[in-house]
Amino acid sequence: MSDSDFDTIRKLQAERNAAAAGKKGSKMFDPSSQRTDVSTKASLTESFDTTLYERDGGDRFAGYNTSIAAADGDDDDDMEEDTSRRLVGQYTASKEQMNEFAHGNGVEEDDILLGREKSARIIDRETEYQKRRFDRALTPTRADPFAANGAAEDGESYREIMARRELEREEERVKRAIEEKPTNGETAPHVATLTNEHSGSASDKDNKDTGSAEVVPAGRKRKQRWDVASGSADATAQSAESKVKRSRWDQTPAIGGAAIDETPRRRSRWDQAPAATPIGNQGLVTPMHPSQIGGPVMPTAFGTDISMRNAPLSDEELDMMLPSEGYKILEPPPGYAPIRTIAQKLMATPAPAGGTSGFGGFMMQDPESGRVAGRQLPTEIPGVGDLQFFKAEDMAYFGKLTDGSDENEMTVEELKQRKILRLLLKVKNGTPPMRKTALRQLTDNARQFGAGPLFKEILPLLFERSLEDQERHLLVKVIDRVLYKLDELVRPHVHQILVVIEPLLIDQDYYARMEGQEIISNLSKAAGLAHMISTMRPDIDHVDENVRNTTARAFAVVAKALGIPALLPFLRAVCRSKKSWQARHTGCRVIQQIPIMMGCAVLPHLKGLVDCIGVCLQDDQSKVRTQASLSIAALAEAAHPYGIESFDDILKPLWIGAKKQRGKGLAAFLKAVGFVIPLMDEEYANYYTSQIMEILLREFSSPDEEMKKIVLKVVSQCASTDGVTAGYLKQHVLDEFFQSFWVRRMALDKRNYRQVVDTTVDLGQKVGVSEIVERIVNNLKDESEAYRKMTVETVEKVIASLGAADIGERLEERLIDGILFSFQEQSVEDIVMLNGFGTVVNALGVRCKPYIPQLVSTILWRLNNKSATVRQQAADLISRIAMVMKQCGEDALMGKLGIVLYEYLGEEYPEVLGSILGALRSIVTVVGINQMQPPIKDLLPRLTPILRNRHEKVQENTIDLVGRIADRGPESVNAREWMRICFELLDMLKAHKKGIRRAANNTFGFIAKAIGPQDVLATLLNNLRVQERQSRVCTAVAIGIVAETCAPFTVLPALMNEYRVPELNVQNGVLKSLSFLFEYIGEMAKDYVYAVTPLLEDALIDRDQVHRQTASAVVKHVALGVVGLGCEDAMLHLLNLLWPNLFETSPHVIDRVLEAVDAIRMAIGPGLVMNYVWAGLFHPARKVRVPYWRIYNSAYTQSADSMVPFYPDLDDEQMVRHELAIVI
Amino acid sequence: MASLSPIYFADKLRAQQQLEALQARYVGTGHADTTRFEWTSNIQRDSYASYVGHPPLLSYMAIGMGECREKVRAQMIEKMIQPVGKPPEVQD
């Protein structure tokens, strides 16, 4: 890639950034959090519930594989390791990097078509690796050796399965061997290519004896999925002699003649007929069009097919076309059933281009054509009702329901199946209420339906390729519910369920993974450990890596569900398997997954887990060693900071292994070492670090990206342990570290960049600021922008955590100089630069004084720039450094800045305007209202119109500034101006952002304080009449605040007077204001209780529900305010009025009422309130008992102890509490 | 039941779950089907627990009963087993 290309890309990126900055609103930069990325989406890789799964400080998944290794995973067995020894490092940026530069990360513009293109189908977002799930087939039902009656009924036994797996492995081995032959140079002597061009020479040998040219294509060559069909009748014939291998795709029975005859009765995977595609002429490789097939014409999928001409004719059409006399319509022979296999169904779907009109492209639907209308997808299936949707693919599964056959003639089994299908269809495609009832029916009748019939229908649906997230979720839910009911009946189907559920464990979607885990965990609880192990054991050394991977994850879930100790003996045996290395590999992987899933809960079993994989560290197979060390890393990370004693035994092999290994294996060992070292105590950590450091230093120069990342991680882990001293790091590590990692190239790749910055900061924690800054300060003037950025970020992080006291005079000069340079030279305005600048200036504090004039001139110059982002950044910088300028005594300069900013208030870009207002605010805060230049009386009138700006950032900053002025210097502006601002503020009360509404409310308080509450209150009370609820609520809050700031007696009379307005909204608003008012004034309420009681009386007996609800809220706040202040009489009075509302059923009303009762119980004590309660606890009417018990329960949970003296005396011998009668 | 709207049904379900959670945490809470026996046992146990839990009150009672404090405490703890006698016979 040449420089010019780089430049173009950079330019494009700059333009895009500028455009995005103008467009995207506050998405770009949020001043409160100072982050550009304010995505509201929940993270996929982190646990959603951060309070439950608290991450103290760091990212608990750091270092784990949070994404699933797909194509280039650590442990993809089918991939050969990269053995090419590159002598020179890679100097060109990779394609991904270039793309990232071109499209940006987080700064790219929103593609409006993106959402539309991103289809809901799961398969569309799956990687190749994940799609391999379709390679698995639903296995036959298995025998349940643990069944209660002891008799293993029909189904495959464990022995059969193991034998089959053995066969598969052998097959794989032979296939490999055949593939490898040509590469190993054992190629058969060259054969003339004229006779067969496309079959490999290896296959020749196999085919030699058949001697027929036609069978050659069916010979052994590397299989391509679509040409499996070439196994035509000839091939099947051949299969009798030489066992032709088939992939699992070809399970559908062929339509071609001979195949069916040859299919034996027992249906294992190996003997099913091969043809997936219909075969025309025997021996033809190309599949023919379905219309050519003799025999039954299948109905095509409804609606999707536009090939009208090829579509089957309807009965009516046939009646019209054919003469009615002389012909007879024959009955279909008994036992005939149309074939409904999906594979064949789908064949009919793709319409030949331009099927009808001879050319492709858009076609108007002819509304006249009855056939088109008639062939629409049915939305109503008999016995199901209206569905939300019905897809063409659904027809394959649910088509049976539409065939209109007579239910009276069906057997019980058939009826059952139809019932299940109907319910499933309702769950999958129905409306939410339909779904709910159907799901309930399925659950309730699960045992009657039986496990077999249920799973026979559910599981194939989950294998459907057009499945969408929602459908999958619902089907998985069905399985989950059904599992509960079926319990041990699921055993024969465990493997089938696993086959469809395991892929969920490697889904990108966090929730899908969780769902999968839940199912497997329930499954293992239902089926029991022994059965789970015997079911999953055969998959542990499966030939397909994907199967082993998902099985390992499933085993980890089983361990989580049934406890690690239960599974440990099995895992130990697996990890020591002599028979196959795949089993050992999978065993290690299970042990890696357990800590990832369970975190520190592995601690009690740490020793056992480590012991399992200890031996694998010295395995012959490098993959097993690698996996074992990755598992050690995961265990150590989960155990941190405990449990070093469990690792004692493996320390030696680990360290020796690290010295022996090279390449990928080494990377894994280093990773393990990096996680084990932090667990050690000081001396050991020091010793082991020095042992490993030579290797790390050697690998500093490794060209492998993965290795680089791991080395960096290990260095930072070593550096942050106590045992490693600053002296050691300075002496041995720093020089080489900076030499190999602080190079421009590292800044280009985002992940390397991050890793280098983090590691440098970690090193900085030990060796000090100046050591680090000294080494990198020159890079601030480097010509590569990315490199400058990396330097600024590092400097920022180091200085932010350690301060700048360590920085000498000369270094300080170079630092400021460098930062200024890189700030001015940035081509893309970046938050990193801004943060870096701000942090450095703030850390240096007064030492910045000499540089301030230079700084300010830069800012002024940039404020004048024609690019909006530059102006915005300059304004943001002012707010960062205002504090320091004040410390340096640069008041004059600040005044100058203030005036310049004031002049820029006409800014048209809202983002920039927001930043300018922010800068003004920070100047006002620092210099004070009185010293402010320009004077407040000039500034505020300019702000009033800006309040009308609808942009959130602008609103937030203006309101903040105005509020501050109202708070600190209200006298500088006259009352009329403040009133004008009040009116503007009313609009802000309905802002979307809570921060703005809150700021507006507070400002009302300040203004009311400044000019007296009367006028403000009048404005607010008027606003109670508006229609909009949000606005009324906020007005109520504002009234509450005004009352709080100006004392309640200034507000209450007017407010209560307003209650007399015979308008529901207003009265409600008043009540709401009262509620906020009493909430805010707290104990002050005791002076006003008797004043508001009559009003509350009226409100509590109002006909309107909402009225009483709001009044209850007021009562609650009043009561909580006057606890212990002697207003019990009023409270009791209110309780009497409140009590009848107990029987309200609307959830909001009853909640408020109960809260109010609780509050009054606080105010008057439980004794009095409980007197009301005893009466209803055992009332004959349930409708009465229910709410009374609710009150009793909340009283009991809140003040059980103080209720004891007040328990009633019941007329019961046993109930007399003699102890209470003791008097001394 | 059939006339109930699904939304109402969902609410009821949630209320039921909340109640179960509450009951799991506080044994003494009840519901509309709590029997007199259950409730009286609970309040008796709570009473004893309260006497034992307030040392001054316990001392006061011990003096009043003329017993040693520890003995009274033991007695009260003892009494918490079936405080209102045997559960009523279940008649089907």
Q: Is residue A275 part of a domain?
A: yes
Q: What is the mean pLDDT of residues A358-379?
A: 48
Residues 6+ apart with CB under 8 A from A474: A427, A428, A435
* Residue of chain A nearest B75, judged by CA positions: A1219
Prediction ipTM score: 0.91
Q: How far apart are CA A772 and CA A764, in angstroms?
A: 6
Question: Is residue A1172 in a domain?
Answer: no
> So what's the pLDDT on residue A281?
43
Does any domain span residue A112? no
Distance from CA of A261 to the nearest CA of B (A): 54
pLDDT of res. B57: 94
Q: What is the 3-state secondary structure (H, E, C) of A439-466?
A: HHHHHHCHHHHCHHHHHHHHHHHHCCCC
A1156 confidence band (pLDDT: 50, 70, 90): very high
The confidence band for A151, taking pLDDT boundaries of 50, 70 and 90, is very low
Q: Name the DSSP class of A575.
A: H
Contact B36 A1200 (CB under 8 A): no
Q: What are phi and psi of A407, to 5 degrees?
A: -75, -20
The residue of chain A nearest to residue B72, with distances taken between CA atoms, is A1219
pLDDT in tens, A976-1020: 888 888 888 888 887 888 888 888 888 888 888 888 888 889 988
| DSSP-assigned letter for residue A155 | S
Lowest mean pLDDT among A67-71, A310-314, A810-814, A1013-1017: A67-71
**In a 3-state reduction of DSSP, which class is residue A550?**
helix
- Nearest residue on chain B to A432, judged by CA atoms? B6
Q: How confident is the model at residue A15 (pLDDT cuts 50, 70, 90)?
A: low
Identity of the residue in A433, A1193, A1204 whose CB atom sits nearest the CB atom of B50: A1204
pLDDT tens, A1051-1108? Answer: 999 999 999 998 888 999 999 999 999 999 989 999 999 999 999 999 999 999 999 9
Cis ω before A641 (30° cut-off from 0) = yes
- CB-closest option in A436, A1197, A1204 to B29: A1197
Tell me the residue ranges of DSSP E strands in A373-475: 380-381, 385-386
Asked if the Cβ–Cβ distance from B60 to A1204 is below 8 Å, we say: no
Mean pLDDT for A569-577 is 93
> How close B60 gets to chain A, by Cα (Å)?
8
List, for residues A726-762, the tens digit of each pLDDT value. Answer: 999 999 899 999 999 999 988 988 888 999 999 999 9
By CB neighbour count within 10 A (0-12 exposed, 13-18 middle, 19+ buried), where does A953 fall?
A: buried
Taking CB atoms and an 8 Å limit, are A433 and B6 in contact across chains? Answer: yes
Q: How confident is the model at residue A5 (pLDDT cuts 50, 70, 90)?
A: low
Q: CA-to-CA distance for A518 and A556, rounded, in angstroms?
A: 12
CB contact under 8 A, B47 and A1186: no
3-state secondary structure of A361: coil
Query: What is the arithmetic mean of pLDDT over A42-56?
Result: 46
Distance, in Å, from the CA atom of A1193 to the CA atom of A1158, rounded to the nearest integer, reads 11
Q: Do A1203 and B83 touch (CB under 8 A)?
A: no
The per-residue pLDDT for B16 is 77
Q: Is residue A224 part of a domain?
A: yes
Whether residue A1189 lies inside any domain: the answer is no
Contacts of A1093 (CB under 8 A, 6+ apart): A1130, A1133, A1134
Q: Is the pLDDT of residue A643 over 70?
A: yes
pLDDT at A107 over 80: no
Tens digit of each residue's pLDDT (9 = 90 or more) over A225-256: 444 444 444 444 444 444 444 444 544 444 44
pLDDT tens digits along A847-863: 999 999 999 999 999 99
- Chain A residues at the B interface, defined by Cβ less than 8 Å, are 432-433, 436, 1147, 1177-1178, 1182, 1185-1186, 1189, 1192-1193, 1196-1197, 1200-1201, 1203-1204, 1207, 1210, 1212, 1214-1215, 1217, 1219, 1222-1224
Q: Between chains, do A1222 and B60 touch, taking CB under 8 Å as contact?
A: yes
Q: Please give the Cα distance from B76 to B83 (Å, whole number).
A: 10
* CB contact (8 A) between residue B44 and residue A1224: no
Question: First CA to last CA across chain A, in angstroms?
Answer: 100
Give the pLDDT confidence score for residue A38 in this predicted structure: 42
Q: Are A1189 and B34 an interchain contact pair (Cβ–Cβ within 8 Å)?
A: yes
What's the whole-number mean pLDDT along residues A868-896? 92
Separation in Å, CA of A456 to nearest CA in chain B? 30
Interval A901-937: pLDDT, tens: 999 999 889 999 999 999 999 999 999 888 888 898 8
When CB atoms are compared, the residue of B29, B63, B85 closest to A1224 is B63
> Quick check: A1197 and B64 CB within 8 A?
no
Average pLDDT over every residue of A5-16: 60
End-to-end CA distance of chain B: 26
Q: What percent of chain A has pLDDT over 70?
A: 75
CB A1128 within 8 A of CB A1118: no
pLDDT in tens, A801-820: 999 998 999 999 999 999 99
Chain B hits for A1189, CB-CB cut-off 8 Å, are 30-32, 34
| Composition of chain B by helix, strand, coil, percent to 5 | 65, 0, 35
Does A1192 contact B65 at a Cβ distance shorter than 8 Å?
Answer: no
Q: How many inter-chain contacts (A to B, CB under 8 Å) are there?
A: 67
pLDDT tens digits, one per residue of A38-48 = 445 544 444 44
pLDDT at A150 over 70: no
* B-chain residues near A1182 (CB < 8 A): 32
* The predicted structure's pLDDT at residue A199: 42
For residue A260, pLDDT beyond 50: no
Instruction: Specify if A278 maps to a domain.
Output: yes
Confidence band of A308 (pLDDT split at 50, 70, 90): low
Band the pLDDT of A90: cuts 50, 70, 90: very low
| For range A767-785, the mean pLDDT | 92
Share of chain A above pLDDT 90, in %: 41
| Predicted pLDDT of residue A171 | 85
| pLDDT at position A149 | 54
| pLDDT reported for residue A153 | 53
For the cut 50, the answer to whether the pLDDT of residue A166 exceeds it is yes
Query: Mean pLDDT over all residues of chain A?
Result: 79
- What's residue A724's pLDDT? 86
Give how far A1195 is from chain B: nearest CA, Å: 9
How many other C-beta atoms are found inside a 10 Å radius of the C-beta of residue A1106? Answer: 16
Domain ranges of chain B: 37-84
In degrees and rounded to multiples of 5, residue A385 shows phi and psi of: 95, -170
A contacts of B84 (beta carbons < 8 Å): 1212, 1214-1215
Nearest to A1196 among B11, B29, B50 (CB): B29
Q: Per the structure, how many domains does chain A have?
A: 1
The per-residue pLDDT for A123 is 78
Is A1201 within 8 Å of B50 when comparing Cβ atoms?
Answer: yes
Q: Which of A235, A312, A305 is nearest to A274 (CA)?
A: A235
At CB < 8 A and 24+ separation, what contacts does A284-292 make?
A: A284/A232, A285/A217, A285/A227, A285/A229, A285/A230, A287/A229, A287/A347, A290/A344, A290/A347, A290/A348
Distance CA A287, CA A277 (A): 6
Residue B47 Cα, gap to closest chain A Cα (Å): 6
CA nearest to A1212 within chain B: B84
Evaluate if residue A62 carries a pLDDT over 60. no
- The answer to whether residue A358 scores a pLDDT higher than 70 is no
A1222 with B43: Cβ contact below 8 A? no
Q: Kindly state whether residue A55 falls inside one of the protein's structural domains.
A: no
Task: Give the pLDDT confidence of A585-610 residue by residue, as tens digits.
Answer: 999 999 999 999 999 999 999 999 99
What mean pLDDT comes out for the span A535-547? 90
Nearest CA in chain B to A1222: B64
Average predicted confidence (pLDDT) for chain B = 84
Which has the minimum average pLDDT: A75-79, A436-440, A956-960, B76-80? A75-79
Please tell me the predicted confidence (pLDDT) of residue A131: 81
Could you tell me which residues come within 8 angstroms of residue A615 by beta carbon, excluding any fewer than 6 positions away? A575, A576
Nearest to B30 among A1189, A1200, A1215 (CB): A1189
- Report if residue A64 sits inside a domain: no
Q: Which of B6, B26, B47 sits opposite A1197 (nearest CB)?
A: B26
Closest chain B residue to A1196, measured at CA: B29
- Asked if B60 lies within 8 A of A1224 by C-beta distance, the reply is yes
Note whether A1219 contacts B60, CB cutoff 8 Å: no
Count the residues in chain B: 92
Is residue A1164 predicted with pLDDT exceeding 90? Answer: yes
Which pLDDT band holds residue A377 (cuts at 50, 70, 90)? low
Which pLDDT belongs to residue A330? 80
Contact call for A1193 and B29, based on CB within 8 A: yes
* Domain that residue A162 falls in: 157-182+217-290
* The one-letter amino acid at A792: V
Backbone torsions φ then ψ of A1079, nearest 5 degrees = -65, -40
Residues on chain B touching A1207 (C-beta within 8 angstroms): 43, 46-47
Provide the pLDDT for residue A402.
77
Q: Nearest CA of chain A to the CA of B91: how many Å?
A: 20
Stretches in chain B below the pLDDT threshold 70: 1-13, 91-92
* Binary contact (B29, A1207; C-beta < 8 A): no
pLDDT of residue A1027: 75
DSSP labels for A634-656? HHHHHHTTS-GGGGHHHHHHHHH
- Tell me the pLDDT band of A56, cut-offs 50, 70 and 90: very low
The stretch A107-133 carries a mean pLDDT of: 63
A121 versus A439: which is more confidently predicted? A439
Mean of the pLDDT values across residues A701-714? 89
Average pLDDT over residues A138-167: 69
Show which residues on chain B lie within 8 Å of chain A, measured between beta carbons. 6, 11, 19, 22, 26, 28-32, 34, 36, 39-40, 43-44, 46-47, 50-51, 53, 60-61, 63-65, 76, 83-85
Continuous segment of H or E residues that includes residue A581? helix A581-598
> Where does the pLDDT of residue A769 fall: very low under 50, low under 70, confident under 90, or very high at 90 and above?
very high
pLDDT at A12: 61
